[in-house]
Amino acid sequence: MGKRVTINDLAVGGEGVGRLEDGRAVFVVGSAVGDELLIDLTEEKKRYARGRIVEVLSPGENRRDPPCPNVVKGCGGCDWQHLNQDAQIDAKLSIVAQSLERLGSISPPDIGYVSGPEEKNYRTTMRVGVVDGHAALRKARSNELIQLEECVVAHPMIEDILANGFFHTASDVTIRVGSRTGDRLVMGEPVADGFSLPDDVRVVGRNEARKGAEAFVFEEAAGIEWRISAQSFFQSSPEGAESLIGLTAEWLSVQDVGEQVMVDLYAGVGLFSGTVGDWFEKVTAVESSKSATRDAQHNLGSHVSIHQLEVEKWTPELADVVIADPPRSGLRASGVEVIRLTEAPHVVLISCDAGALGRDARLLTAAGYELDQIDVLDMFPQTSHVEVVSGWIRQA
C-alpha cells in the first residue's frame, strides 16, 4: 500500500528526502521540497528507503511542469526538470554547503553562484543508448531505454542527429559537436557498422578508436581552437569551459602568485594549460587518457610538458600553482598527497561532485590548505549536477 510523505530537503544525488512514520529517511526521485506525496517503496534498508511517486497530493511551491516532453515518458536524463530555476540554484548552493560542513568539517565562506550556459540546448557531447537503431535515453534508476527525437538540453546540432541518425546494432553512441565550428562526430559502441547519418558527420567505432583510428572535432573556446577526440573529455559546452577558465583566472589574479611553474592535474585536452598556463614560464600537464594526451599535444605549446600517466604515479615537482580537475571520484587521499608534495602555495580545485568536494576539502585541510573562495558554476541546468571551483591557500 502507498505511503504518504512530505519532502523537506534535496539530497546530494538530487532526490527529495522525507521521513517515513518509523523515522527512516526516504529518498524520492522527481520530488520537490514541500511536496506531499503518495509513494511506493522501491527499496528498503534498515536506516533509509527509496520511493517512487504514485501521486502528487499537494505540490511544493517550487514544483513546475517539466519543460521537456521526455520527462513524462520517464526519461532520466535530467533529474530536476520539475524544479523551477530559482529552486535549482538554491538547492545547488545548499547541497555544496552541506557537503562542506558534513563531509569536509568546514564552515564555508560565502558560496558564490555563477550562471553557466543557457538553460536549454547547451550540451555539446551526449552519450545515448540505442533501441531498434534509434537514439534512446535511460529511464530514471532503470536500464530501460526510451527512444527520443528531441532533448531540451542537447545542442540543436546534436538534436538533429538524435532525430535523424540510424545506429544499426550499436549498444551506445557518443555524439559530439563543435558548436562554434560546426564539426560533428559520432562514435558507436562497439562498432559503427551500418550507421546512417548526415554526410558531414564523422563516424568511428570505439573498437577502431581504441586501435588508434583518429576521429575528432574542433571546438573554439577562450579564443583557441581545441582538438577533441571522440574518447577525450571536454566540458559540457564552450561557454561552460570559458566560465571555468574565467573563475580560475579571476581568483589567481588577485592572489600573490609566483609565475614560474604551474601544474595541471587531470589536464584533459589541455584547457587550463593552454589558457591560464600562458602566465607561467613552465607548465606540467598530467593526464591518464591516451586520446586526451594526444589532443593536448596538438593543442598546447612547447612550454607545456605533457605526461600521460595517472596523477598518483606522477613524481611531484615543486609548483607555484596547481590546478586540479579530477573526475567525479575526486582527488582522494592519493591526489591530495601529490598536491601536498608540490608545496604549491595556491591550488584551484574543480569538483564535479558535491560529495567528492566535501571529502577532498577535509583532506586538503589536513594537508595544510585553507579554503579561500568557492563558487558554484551552473554548468548543468535542469540537473542536480554541480560544478564547483574552489581556491585554496597553503598555510605557512
Ligand X SMILES: C[S@@+](CC[C@H](N)C(=O)[O-])C[C@H]1O[C@@H](n2cnc3c(N)ncnc32)[C@H](O)[C@@H]1O
Interface positions with ligand X (CB under 6 A):
233-235, 266-269, 271-272, 286-289, 292, 310-312, 325-327, 352
CA distance 47 to 52: 18
In terms of CB distance, is 195 or 234 closer to ligand X?
A: 234
Q: Least Å distance between CB 379 and ligand X?
A: 11
Q: Which of 111, 89, 13, 99 has its CA nearest to residue 355?
A: 99
The helix/strand/coil state of 91 is helix
Q: Can you say whether the dihedral through the CA atoms of 356, 100, 7, 35 is positive or negative?
A: negative
Residue 244: CB minimum distance to ligand X, A: 6
321 contact partners, CB below 8 Å, separation of at least 6: 252, 257, 258, 261, 262, 263, 280, 344, 345, 346, 347, 348
DSSP summary character for residue 168? T
* Pairing of the two strands 202-205 and 184-189: parallel
Closest to ligand X by CB, 135 vs 379, is: 379
CB of residue 374 to ligand X, shortest distance in Å: 18
Which strands form 184-189's sheet, in the order they lie side by side? 145-147, 134-138, 125-131, 172-177, 184-189, 202-205
For ligand X, the closer of residues 250 and 312 by Cβ is 312
Q: CB of residue 163 vs ligand X: minimum separation in angstroms?
A: 28
Of the candidates 103, 27, 77, 140, the one whose C-alpha atom is nearest the C-alpha of residue 385 is 77
Closer of 8 and 383 to ligand X (Cβ): 383
> Shortest gap between Cβ of 185 and ligand X (angstroms)?
17
Of residues 169 and 334, the one with the C-beta less far from ligand X: 334
If residue 43 lies in a helix (H) or strand (E), which one and from where to where? strand 36-44
**Smallest separation (angstroms) from ligand X to the CB of 236:** 10
Of 30 and 326, the one with the shorter C-beta distance to ligand X is: 326
To the nearest whole angstrom, how small is the minimum distance from the Cβ of residue 17 to ligand X?
A: 28
Q: Which three cell numbers stand for residue 279?
A: 602566465
Q: CB-based contacts of 213: which residues, under 8 Å, 6+ apart? A: 204, 205
Which residue, 92 or 294, has its beta carbon nearer to ligand X?
294
Nearer to ligand X, 31 or 273 (CB): 273
Cα-flanking dihedrals φ and ψ of residue 363, to 5°?
Answer: -70, -40
* Residue closest to ligand X when measured from CB atoms: 268
Any bridge partners for residue 129, and if so which? 136, 172
- Cα 334 from chain centroid (whole Å): 21
**Rounded least distance, CB 199 to ligand X, Å:** 29
Contacts (Cβ under 8 Å, ≥6 apart) of 38 = 2, 3, 4, 53, 54, 55, 57
- Dig out the grid coordinates for 38 from the structure: 503518495
Q: Which is nearer to ligand X, 178 or 326 (CB)?
A: 326
Min dist CB 241 to ligand X, Å, is: 7
